[in-house]
A = this chain, B = another copy of it.
């Protein structure tokens, strides 16, 4: 139903939080929207949204586009994002690695990270298979639904993990319930083994491989993944895992290395 609900009801929301809620919402929708529509769909007061949208427009954070007063993410965000990318200079090497992975395996290769308390595909290289399996880039997916998810939270304590992941995210897309304790066990297994593989729980025909890309503190800053048809995945399991680990090793310090000085 409602995409977002705040901590407590009946409280005034902080402008800053509302603003980023608007930005995230636009990102999720991936299209320009009228302020009115935004207000209705995120359940925020119209007057507040109008005021915030105007502020963001003046700052270049939002832009008019698509006519009829519709707004979408603005150029300033692109510049800020580019500065981030430049500082944590992983994307260039990342593309190379993904390309090599996809070439070697002919499967879909992904570079994934957490976006807040959701999983998201940052970069992807589709494989040479006749049918292709792919999550859209930038979409937010519940952590428990993914193999990478096990690795990306592995540095946290059990309690921390359960506080971090929204409870409803343990409800799988088919409606089944994933036992959090079972999930935690898989997290610990993934942490021990340094990878995680399983038959996807969001569909019935893919197998997923995930290995962590470590930051300087030894946490999984990101993951490299392969998404394969089940029989291919099982048949080539050892080879795919080896390739993934090689690839991850080549990225391992990159995500946190500043470019200069």
Contact = CB atoms under 8 A, between A and B. Distances in A.
Given A16-B59, A82-B122, A86-B137, 17 more contacts: A14-B15, A17-B55, A20-B76, A27-B83, A31-B87, A65-B88, A72-B84, A73-B87, A74-B84, A75-B113, A75-B115, A77-B77, A77-B81, A77-B84, A78-B81, A80-B80, A82-B137
16 contacts: A16-B19, A16-B52, A16-B55, A24-B80, A31-B258, A65-B88, A73-B83, A75-B84, A76-B115, A76-B116, A77-B81, A78-B85, A81-B84, A82-B138, A86-B137, A86-B138
Interface string A6-35: 000000001111011001101100110000
Interface residues of A, number: 46
A256 interface: yes
Contacts of A60: 115-116
B87 A80 contact: no
A87 B113 CA distance: 21
A131 interface: no
A120 interface: yes
A116 B80 CA distance: 13
A122 B80 CA distance: 11
A59 B17 contact: yes
Contact of A84 (B55, B78, B113): B78
Interface of A: 14-17, 19-20, 23-24, 26-27, 30-31, 52, 55-56, 59-61, 65-66, 72-88, 113, 115-116, 120, 122, 137-138, 256, 258
Contacts of A80: 23-24, 27, 73, 77, 80-81
Protomer copies: 2
Residue from A24, A78, A120 whose CB has the most chain B CB atoms within 10 Å = A78
A77 B82 CA distance: 9
Nearest to A215: B65
A95 B195 CA distance: 35
A106 to B, nearest CB: 23
A259 to B, nearest CB: 9
Contacts of A27: 79-80, 83
Contacts of A20: 59, 61, 76
A150 to B, nearest CB: 20
A23 B256 CA distance: 19
Nearest to A87: B72
